[in-house]
Structure 1
Amino acid sequence: MAKPIRAVMFDLDGTLLDTAPDFVVVVNQLLSEQARPALAAEIIRAGVSNGSKALIKLAFSLDESHEQFEPLRQRLLELYLAHIAVHTVLFPGIDKLLGKLADHNIAWGIATNKPATYTLPLMAALNIQPAPLSVICPDHVARSKPDPESLFLAGTQLGCLPEEIIYIGDHKRDIDCGKGAGSITIAAAYGYVDAGDDPANWNADYCVNHADEIWPIIERHL
């Protein structure tokens, strides 16, 4: 028999937070510095979950071996750190969901592939309440997602088993991480899904198109 859920873990970019508006600004700022035309917001938005390397490839069509690739990536990260929480907000429905979790004494946290250098200042700036009880970045594990180590660590920090965790993410790597840990998984189809990708193919236990759909799923597992 399935164990009752004791915690909910979220991926960060594209699941808990809509960080894309700030990335749109800094990617286009970098393009402007390089005398390149701006990219449409929706093109940048779709690539945010794949990290800074993917954004440089998207914006400049450069391979990682190109001599300008890493300098451009470092400049992008510098610009982002200076603009980290200007336009970023919780996705619609997340604030209400966090309140529901608090009302039912369900812990919540974050398991992200975003380095702590950016995750921690972002979370400090937003000061989300109730605050997460676990924030796991690649810096805290030997193997980042899709490896399940992040959720094993979350279970240790939150005092629960991985199978007592629901993990929500907007990329197949998140679902693979959750599945590998034995957690219940929810695909956030409202997030930054790559063009041509389909969350229905990620083998998640559930798939939602809006954060308002998450609480009824959690209720089934209380």
Structure 2
Amino acid sequence: MKKPIKAVVFDLDGTFLDTAPDFVYVLNKLREEEGLPPLDSTAIRNTVSHGARALVTLGFQLAEDDEGFEPLRLRLLDLYAEHLAVSSAPFDGIADLLTFLQDNQLAWGIATNKPELYTTPLLAALKLTPDCVICPDHVEQSKPHPESMYLAAELLKCQANEIIYVGDHARDIECGRQAGCPTIAAAYGYISHDDNIDDWQADHRVEHAREIIPIVKGYL
């Protein structure tokens, strides 16, 4: 029997917010500074969930220990900080989902591997006020370790298995599964071409954020 849930927690980039347009801009801006032509936006979108290092590798075909990698990574982060939330927005269907959660007195939160330095101003710029925000700064072990969801449960005053966790990466689902949370794989997110979402063994899979509402209803 399913345990009634008290909250829904989301990964940030690629699950709750479509931040890829900002990363497309800043990576191609950095390539322009280095005298290179722009990359196709699809390749960048599919890499966003892997972080700044992966974007530098994609943009410049460099390994992390290659000379020149770290200055490019730092410059990418500077550009991102300067253009934070210029084009980012919640995915289609998220606004209706938040209204549904509020109407049903369910809390919602964010658990992300994005540093607080970028997460807090991004949410503020978009006038979003989650009931909890978990960043790597707040835990000793980031996702896929379940510590983020244990902390979310503590802050939301519930048990981890009373939280649905939604994410677009295998580490999100592993984090939720290890914590005992029901999990939803967001197939509309930033999925690498070589990823097989079904291998993540999430409890549910959605192709659009609007499909999350009926799943949540099933846990009430």
Which bin holds the TM-score, normalised by the shorter protein? Answer: over 0.9
Aligned counterpart, 1:155: 153
Partner of 2:114: 114
Letter matched to residue 172 of structure 1: A
Q: Which residue of 2 aligns with 1:205?
A: 203
Percent of aligned pairs with the same residue? 57
User: SS of the residue aligned with 1:166?
Assistant: strand
**TM-score scaled to structure 1, two decimals?**
0.98
* Pair 1:172 & 2:159 matched: no
After TM superposition, give the deviation of residue 2 of structure 1 in Å.
Answer: 3.1
* C-alpha separation in 2, matches of 1:2 and 1:91: 28
**Match of 1:8, SS?**
strand
Give matches, 1:73-92, under 5 Å. Answer: 73-92=73-92
Structure 1 residue 66 displacement after superposition: 1.2
Q: Which residue of 1 aligns with 2:218?
A: 220
Amino acid aligned to 1:26: V
- 1:56 matched to which residue of 2? 56
The residue that corresponds to 2:131 in the other structure is: 133
Once residues 122 and 104 of structure 1 are traced to their aligned partners in structure 2, the CA distance between those partners, rounded to angstroms, is 26
Output one character per residue of 1:13-41: Cα deviation in whole Å (capped at 9) or x when no partner: 00000000000000000000000111001
Q: In 2, Cα distance between the equivalents of 1:73 and 1:117? A: 15
Moved >3 Å (runs of 4+): none
Q: CA deviation at 1:167?
A: 0.1
Residue identity in the other structure for 1:135: V
C-alpha distance in structure 2 between counterparts of 1:150 and 1:2, whole Å:
22
Amino acid at match of 1:139: D
Q: State how far apart, in whole Å, the 2-side matches of 1:137 and 1:68 are.
A: 28
Distance in 2 separating the partners of 1:203 and 1:2: 17
Shift of 1:196: 1.8
Aligned positions of 1:9-24 closer than 5 A: 9-24=9-24
What amino acid is aligned across from residue 210 of structure 1 in structure 2?
A: H
Q: Secondary structure at the match of 2:184?
A: strand
Aligned partners of 2:185, 2:44: CA distance in 1, in Å?
Answer: 21
Distance 1:94 1:113 in 2: 20
Q: Where do 1:183-198 residues align within 5 Å?
A: 183-198=181-196
> TM-score normalised to the size of structure 2?
0.99
- Cα distance in structure 2, aligned partners of 1:199 and 1:65: 30
Counterpart residue type for residue 109 of structure 1: G
Please give the secondary structure, in 1, of the residue aligned with 2:213: helix
